[in-house]
Amino acid sequence: MRTTYRMRSGRFLGIPATGLILLGVAVLFWGIGVPTAGVAVFGALGGLILLAGLWILLRPPVLLKLGSDDVQVRGLRTAWTDITEVGRTTTTQGEAVVLRTKQEEHSVLIPVQWLAPAQVDKLENDLRERLNKANGYTIWDGTAAEPADPAE
């Protein structure tokens, strides 16, 4: 089963805002009597950017996909067997979820600010569960396992 996490849509509010500004410029040009070609160019460009921005707000870009065999972050695939740890770290861009790999220089960072706040804890839990499953680990329930062959 693949789980997809998308970027926080609020990061892209500037795109439809730019389209609205261009539409406003088109209206201003129309109001002061600029030739129709100039008004049409700004109107069409503003309308297209506004529509593209609304589309992106409704369906933000994919940040990562979690599969049973690998994790794909912004197009970079890493096998679960290559990942050694999931944790948090502080970077110059703020807090990030880090997927540490067997080769430290190939660790993958997922900026927390790129995700909706409700998704961060869910993502960390999902990453840990899939990592445990890939490595055959189970969550310890606090009890000791029964010995297979008790000593006498």
Identify which of 17, 7, 5 has the alpha carbon closest to the alpha carbon of residue 113.
Answer: 7
Tens digit of each residue's pLDDT (9 = 90 or more) over 46-80: 999 999 999 999 999 999 998 888 888 888 888 88
Q: By the 8 A CB rule, do 61 and 9 touch?
A: no
CA 60 to chain centre: 9
pTM for this structure? 0.73
Measured CA to CA, the distance from residue 133 to residue 137 in angstroms comes to: 6
Q: Are residues 84 and 53 in the same domain?
A: no
Q: Are residues 43 and 78 in the same domain?
A: no
Task: Confirm whether 144 is domain-assigned.
Answer: no
Q: Which residue has the higher pLDDT, 151 or 26?
A: 26
Task: Confirm whether 73 is domain-assigned.
Answer: yes
State the residue for tokens 């409700």: 118
Domain of residue 25 covers 9-58
pLDDT for residue 15 is more than 90: yes
Task: Confirm whether 140 is domain-assigned.
Answer: no
Task: Confirm whether 75 is domain-assigned.
Answer: yes
Tens digit of each residue's pLDDT (9 = 90 or more) over 71-128: 888 888 888 888 888 888 898 989 998 888 888 778 888 899 999 888 888 888 888 8
Identify which of 26, 31, 53, 28 has the alpha carbon closest to the alpha carbon of residue 42.
Answer: 26
Measured CA to CA, the distance from residue 116 to residue 118 in angstroms comes to: 6
